[in-house]
Amino acid sequence: MFKKILNSQSKSISSASLILAVSSLMSAVLGLLRDRLLAGTFGAGDKLDVYYSAFTVPDFIALILIFGAISAAVIPIFSGYLIKSKDEAWKYFSTLLNVFLGFLIIISFILIIFAPSIISVTAPGFSGQKKELAILLMRIMFLSPIILGASNMISGVLQIFHRFLVTALAPLLYNLGIIIGIVFFVPTFGLQGLAWGVVLGGVLHLLIQLPSLFFSGFRYKASFNYKDPGVVKTVKLMAPRSLGLGAGQLNTIATTSIASTLMAGSIAVFNLANNLSSILVNAIAASVSTASFPSMSMAFLKNENDEFLNKFSSIFRQIIFLTIPISLLLLTLRAQIVRVVLGVGKFGWADTRLTTACLGILALNLIAQSIILFLSKTFYAAHNTKIPAVVSGLTVAFNIILSLLLVWLVRFSAGFSLYLQNLLRLGGVANVGVIALSLAYTITAVIECSLLLYLFNKKFPKLKTKQILSSFYKIITASLIMFLITFATRQFLGSIISLQTFWGIFFQLVISGTVGVAVYAVTTYLLKSPENKAIIDSFLKKFLSQNK
């Protein structure tokens, strides 16, 4: 049974998307549990600030050196080899794995040595014991890019063989490792137990995928030819992609750096709010984009332009069909979500109010980030890594400037600070600077999304824009109706249920959210939204047919 699960294959984008979406939902549940444990154990203060600060650069290294290679190069290049010869494809992958792992080990070792200097740049507001602890955690977590490097390269290859189930299980185990760190390592090792939990998560992420890799036909070869044509082509393709990803990740590092100069807890509040939003991005856009990328890449390789654009149109419409209403639900029920997920233990009322305000601003960021993720992967499938890289580089510079400007306004303009406090109902809360960072982050994402959409339309003028706009109008109409009814339901329940208890808030959240989803589903059905029908046809009918 275990072998059957690890060796299972998904034969269509719909089934692959369903597997990834379900696993993302499960991963989201574990992610919420992880954040609840973090918030309840440490609160939004110095300790969580240290953890998130130490995490940024190791995550940055893994992202630009490995995720870039998978998305931009490994999948299309391995696919090209596979069309010609399976043996040549595996030889290429083995060589690439050896070269990149050797490179990652060297880079990580160098960064471990220079961790004190790195912390001085990424968290300039830290000093004394707080800085020393951040250095220690960062050094431990530099083991993570090496492990996740190998694991994510394997994920890319397994997706080509449609083994989406096992690649979907890997992130679950990654979060499970972090949770084990919080529950079992922290009481023994203190805060550094969190860092060891991250390392454990990476090990579990790798181990679950190794059997499937060998089932697919991989046989390890100790080849280390960095001049191999496939490796050289990979580096050339991944370089712009890595720069683009690096620029995007610099947004997070820059935000963390600026937040370290604000009041204690600012880094934690921003990250906890951003995690709640990012979980939904990963559950929707990342799942659909990951499932569609191999087939879109193959369609482009075969010069099937009409098929390529048809897939783009269909997937783009599915993403906005899901993200727009979810974003509005997140905006409407943000306070309930934060109180249910994070409102426990040392996470105080001021922390809750600040995180709620940040989440409300980042709700719009959810739509933009989902579209950015899909558009970027579409450019990569078309072997164009330069456009996303340039756009990402420009927008990260804009984000840094805008963040500094808004933080300055909060500090030195009493009128602007008071306006934000009144708008977001933060009267009496001193740490309003973190709100400025969330605002800059969202504005930047909207601008980046708009630029990528414009440039994609310029590059592919045959895109069925009218078809997309027709769906968009129906989605907006249904979403607004859902928003109004969800808001009315929330207010009504608030008047008849005690909101001073966990269960009162929980029922208000669940009932209001369920009503909102039901209203949206019915409204899009009445409007004859094609995305509604596509989801029913792809998932529900398939499920019913399998259970006859």
Are residues 82 and 181 both part of a single domain? yes
User: What pLDDT shows up at residue 226?
Assistant: 80
User: What pLDDT shows up at residue 547?
Assistant: 43
In a domain? residue 539: yes
Q: What are phi and psi of 375, to 5 degrees?
A: -65, -40
User: What pLDDT shows up at residue 544?
Assistant: 44
In a domain? residue 457: yes
Are residues 503 and 391 both part of a single domain? no
CA 153/CA 131 separation, integer angstroms: 33
In a domain? residue 4: no
User: What pLDDT shows up at residue 548?
Assistant: 44
Angle between helices 86-113 and 229-259 (to 10 degrees): 40
Are residues 412 and 493 both part of a single domain? no
| 107, 65 contact by CB (below 8 A) | yes
Are residues 459 and 470 both part of a single domain? no
Are residues 497 and 370 both part of a single domain? no
CA nearest to 481, candidates 534, 535, 521: 521
CA 441/CA 445 separation, integer angstroms: 6
CA 411/CA 432 separation, integer angstroms: 9
CA nearest to 76, candidates 288, 227, 290, 234: 234
* Residue 54, H or E segment: helix 46-62
**Domain end among 405, 430, 463:** 463
CA 175/CA 508 separation, integer angstroms: 28
Are residues 455 and 475 both part of a single domain? no
CA 286/CA 452 separation, integer angstroms: 17
User: What pLDDT shows up at residue 417?
Assistant: 84
In a domain? residue 533: yes
Are residues 136 and 116 both part of a single domain? yes
User: What pLDDT shows up at residue 283?
Assistant: 67
Domain range enclosing 532: 464-548
**Domain end among 409, 429, 463:** 463
CA 363/CA 122 separation, integer angstroms: 26
Provide block-wise average pLDDT over 10 residues at a time, the chain (548 residues): 52 56 75 89 90 89 67 75 85 88 90 94 92 95 89 83 78 91 93 94 91 84 82 78 68 87 89 84 67 71 75 85 92 93 85 91 88 84 79 88 92 84 78 88 92 88 81 94 96 90 92 96 90 65 44
Structurally, the chain folds into a number of domains equal to 2
In a domain? residue 402: yes
Are residues 535 and 393 both part of a single domain? no
User: What pLDDT shows up at residue 491?
Assistant: 94
In a domain? residue 2: no
User: What pLDDT shows up at residue 460?
Assistant: 81
In a domain? residue 114: yes
* Exposure on the CB side of residue 508, measured as CA atoms within 13 A: 27
Are residues 94 and 192 both part of a single domain? yes
First to last CA, the chain: 22
Are residues 102 and 126 both part of a single domain? yes
**Got the DSSP string for 436-505?**
HHHHHHHHHHHHHHHHHHHHHHHH-TTS-HHHHHHHHHHHHHHHHHHHHHHHHHHHHHHHHS-TTSHHHH
Task: Show the tokens assigned to 491.
Answer: 């207010």
| 425, 360 contact by CB (below 8 A) | no
| 293, 31 contact by CB (below 8 A) | no
User: What pLDDT shows up at residue 247?
Assistant: 67
In a domain? residue 215: yes
pTM for the model: 0.80
Cβ density class 484-494: b for 16+ within 10 Å, e for less? ebbbebbeebe
- The greatest distance separating any two alpha carbons of the chain, rounded to the nearest whole angstrom, comes to 70
CA 337/CA 505 separation, integer angstroms: 9
Angle between helices 386-412 and 349-381 (to 10 degrees): 160
Are residues 42 and 160 both part of a single domain? yes
Q: Which residues contact 9 (CB under 8 A, 6 or more apart)?
A: 161, 162, 163
Angle between helices 305-332 and 266-281 (to 10 degrees): 130
Q: Which residues contact 277 (CB under 8 A, 6 or more apart)?
A: 330, 359, 362, 363, 365, 366, 369
Are residues 423 and 532 both part of a single domain? no
**Got the DSSP string for 155-209?**
HHHHHHTT-HHHHHHHHHHHHHHHHHIIIIIHHHHTTHHHHHHHHHHHHHHHHTT
Count the Cβ atoms, other than its own, within 10 Å of residue 428: 7
**Domain end among 435, 463, 491:** 463
